[in-house]
Structure 1
């Protein structure tokens, strides 16, 4: 396809930046289209980077940089006595990292620029059309109509397009996908304020009666406050002043901490929505373009980043000819159920937090008791909120580890798995004393041995999940597995 970019990514939020950076780092030319001017905004809402996202960032050499500017939190308070203990997570990152979204965007943008992503800011997508046959023919592509900063129009061509352009996705609309769901909470208030008396805890959150409030530090002397009052159900356009925010905070948290000097205030509503499909032909959706959730548990940005980590290596493998187009079908199969699960869990949390009726309060008390005293339930809740507990579907008859996340295990020679994953590579880990010959390492495959005495052979995908495993595998079987998955 002459004059065609392999991939166009629409939207330069965290999801789009990670995806575009991955593709460029894997040698895939990619254009990132963004309708906003070039700037990193400090008005974004996300403050939590969970363990699974930190692991994905670690596989790109970025996690330690964020750890240096963020603040770790080992216990995540959700409401009342209900907390999720993160200190026991089976991860190098056994905590939640409190760091504003703009810090995440900074490191992802620097990586994308260094990798060679072509950025087109102030460029708005106005239309999109797939080739004859809906993109099924390998010679087909996608035409993207755009309008530039001066109002000029152009048509860009790509083999694949990824819409990471948020809740009001132009890409999703262009491919005719609905976005079913509803607004769960209306008239949520946000503000960046200084506090005369900073709270004792890093994240402060509580709900009392009809009021909910959340406080988190920016690290620059300001705090983000998010509040909601059941009785204040007004349109997003309704004027907002600091007195309203103070009142909600006092009701939910007992005091307003001497709020002053608001540099920004806004009102918004929180939706629960999910597209029925994440792919139509050669067009994919990721992040908020595919799913939006309530803020409870801080899972929104994290889920989008994990979408990007799942899709990027698959697109690169197909475009480089290492895998057939059918690999791209697994993006829907693996990520759509996760998005649905996050939708349910975050929605359940916010409903329990705002419980008012006696039966709902009793349910909340029961759930709190179970999580406080039942270890498996507590671990499952922590795995779901942090993302480390999800596994992907495996083919019938596959090894029990297939589709599971691999923790950052130690490797022989002093290395660790997530360092070996850097460079969008598969990693084959074999028993340390295995007499069988192993495949040679390539730019797409790192061959390692367990530092422990483990006997299982495991082929780890670039996103840190098991592609293949065998308790006992000879050289021919291992070679066949590598050929099937790595190409």
Structure 2
């Protein structure tokens, strides 16, 4: 039986990013992915601002920025008034359009470069958790079965997760009541603009250009409000649906992929069962409204990675892993609520639904605070964690890419995956300097702050007493259960 430190089932973006994080901390990792090759058909096309920040925390974002298209706004339920990302407090006020296949490829390259082992065509068929280890049964491409033993295993293996089922973790929620269709097609008469969206009483449609001369069209129709799964989606059916909404089919032909999707919404009762943990679609399933799925999964992996690495390497007690469920399970629940609300609006084809859409559109247009709040939610920047015992309002919130007094940026200091203490606990006048020209009132008067490896504030203090600041900082370091961070003057 092979011995591994951590086994990850599932080689999508979530599993690959988790592998990257574990290898960055020196933890042995093997990724088992049942598909022999990366699926060329990409359900996800968007990388949101917080996910770009997540990659930027490790310097893993530059190739994505170079390759992806930038869209400076997002949508809520395909309402006419789009959400402007320009007002968001981030270095990346845009969504990147990049196919999931390419995102997976880039993250796999990084994982391999960091020393992870990736076994494609290897399928987990069983996982048994014991008090001190997890034993997995794996089916290899040649038909042989072998066993893997590891201190921990993580299921990143999708909504039908074998790992979740073996761990007997309930996947609770509702089956689909509405469907959508999508097609990757060639358009001889594409509409102008990077992104096109339309809503009529005959259907909802979104159109986005893809690499290689293709366009992705995703849509919903009144007949898709149903609880039974119809037969195979044909190209003629898809083309007629598009015509019904827009009056044209844009000269579409040569479909490379046609598919259906639904609003089935389920959430794992627990993200942890002993030494088995879940992340990404194995932990939550929802309608792909707003393209949030990949992003939430990567952020699951970011939260789990540094904690699991600290436990495996003996720098933290096993109980640290309980905070993964405590912090990310509410995010999964919020994601389901957010996407279900959008589903109701996108598929509100009745007169009452049309009126609700009209009202919501007016409220968003008239109330900038509502528009900005929705933009923050869609971008992932609004996520904050409830840290027990924390008293400062910044604790549990993401840290922006602060410019520090030594002219370095905060995210550059987090590239090695270790926590960072900014500020000077040895002096009474150390203060964080907010990045210019944007002013950040929330950071005014902060004497020191401990930034967790995932870019969230683990502790902050505004005291001017140097001795008290030093004591608080050391207590925060001990509470983090990680390697003592480097200290940087602010």
Query: Which of the numbers 449, 452, 460 marks the counterpart of 1:458?
Result: 449
Contact 1:295–1:346 (CA<8 Å) still a contact in 2? yes
Structure 2 CA distance, aligned partners of 1:269 and 1:451?
A: 44
Q: Which residue of 2 aligns with 1:474?
A: 469
| Closer, same or farther: CA 451–413 of 1 in aligned 2, 3 Å | farther
Q: Which residue of 2 aligns with 1:55?
A: 53
SS of 2:287's equivalent in the other structure is coil
| Closer, same or farther: CA 323–69 of 1 in aligned 2, 3 Å | same
Of stretches 355-364 and 273-282 in structure 1, the one that deviates more from structure 2 is 355-364
Structure 1 CA distance, aligned partners of 2:316 and 2:227?
A: 51
Instruction: State whether structure 2 residue 365 is matched by structure 1 residue 365.
Output: no
- After TM superposition, the structure 1 = structure 2 runs for residues 58-457 of structure 1, keeping only pairs within 5 Å, are 58-78=56-76, 79-131=78-130, 135=131, 140-184=132-176, 186-231=178-223, 238-430=231-423, 435=427, 450=433, 454-457=445-448
Deviation sequence 1:386-416 (CA, Å, 0-9, x none):
1101100122452221101111111223221
Contact 1:187–1:235 (CA<8 Å) still a contact in 2? no
Structure 2 CA distance, aligned partners of 1:270 and 1:209?
A: 20
**Number of equivalent positions:** 468
SS of 2:105's equivalent in the other structure is helix
Of stretches 141-150 and 451-460 in structure 1, the one that deviates more from structure 2 is 451-460
Contact 1:73–1:95 (CA<8 Å) still a contact in 2? yes
SS of 1:161's equivalent in the other structure is strand
Q: Quote the offset at 1:483 in angstroms.
A: 3.1
| Closer, same or farther: CA 399–58 of 1 in aligned 2, 3 Å | same
Structure 2 CA distance, aligned partners of 1:415 and 1:41?
A: 39
Q: Quote the offset at 1:353 in angstroms.
A: 1.4
Q: Quote the offset at 1:57 in angstroms.
A: 0.7
Q: Quote the offset at 1:13 in angstroms.
A: 0.5
| Closer, same or farther: CA 266–455 of 1 in aligned 2, 3 Å | closer
| Closer, same or farther: CA 88–253 of 1 in aligned 2, 3 Å | farther
Deviation sequence 1:27-83 (CA, Å, 0-9, x none):
00011111110x222202101111100000111212221111111111223424231
SS of 2:75's equivalent in the other structure is strand
CA-atom RMSD in angstroms: 2.2
Q: Quote the offset at 1:266 in angstroms.
A: 2.8
Contact 2:390–2:459 (CA<8 Å) still a contact in 1? no
Deviation sequence 1:310-369 (CA, Å, 0-9, x none):
000000111122211111101111001011001011110121111133333333222222
Deviation sequence 1:267-311 (CA, Å, 0-9, x none):
343421111111111101100000011111111110001000000
Contact 1:207–1:354 (CA<8 Å) still a contact in 2? no
Contact 1:7–1:162 (CA<8 Å) still a contact in 2? yes
| Closer, same or farther: CA 455–76 of 1 in aligned 2, 3 Å | closer
SS of 1:207's equivalent in the other structure is strand
Structure 2 CA distance, aligned partners of 1:467 and 1:264?
A: 44
Structure 2 CA distance, aligned partners of 1:463 and 1:117?
A: 20
Structure 1 CA distance, aligned partners of 2:238 and 2:210?
A: 18
Q: Quote the offset at 1:22 in angstroms.
A: 0.9
Q: Which residue of 2 aligns with 1:442?
A: none
Q: Quote the offset at 1:16 in angstroms.
A: 0.3
Structure 1 CA distance, aligned partners of 2:315 and 2:247?
A: 59
SS of 2:256's equivalent in the other structure is strand
SS of 1:197's equivalent in the other structure is coil
Of stretches 256-265 and 379-388 in structure 1, the one that deviates more from structure 2 is 256-265
Q: Quote the offset at 1:149 in angstroms.
A: 1.0
| Runs of 5+ unmatched residues, structure 1 | 439-447
| Closer, same or farther: CA 451–301 of 1 in aligned 2, 3 Å | closer
| Closer, same or farther: CA 361–27 of 1 in aligned 2, 3 Å | same
Structure 2 CA distance, aligned partners of 1:404 and 1:238?
A: 46
SS of 1:398's equivalent in the other structure is coil
Q: Which residue of 2 aligns with 1:441?
A: none
Structure 1 CA distance, aligned partners of 2:383 and 2:71?
A: 21
Contact 1:7–1:30 (CA<8 Å) still a contact in 2? yes
| Closer, same or farther: CA 189–415 of 1 in aligned 2, 3 Å | same
| Closer, same or farther: CA 313–437 of 1 in aligned 2, 3 Å | farther
Contact 1:10–1:16 (CA<8 Å) still a contact in 2? yes
TM value normalised by structure 2 = 0.90
| Closer, same or farther: CA 370–292 of 1 in aligned 2, 3 Å | same
Deviation sequence 1:115-155 (CA, Å, 0-9, x none):
11111221111111111xxx3xxxx1010011111111111
SS of 1:408's equivalent in the other structure is coil
Of stretches 109-118 and 68-77 in structure 1, the one that deviates more from structure 2 is 68-77
SS of 1:188's equivalent in the other structure is strand
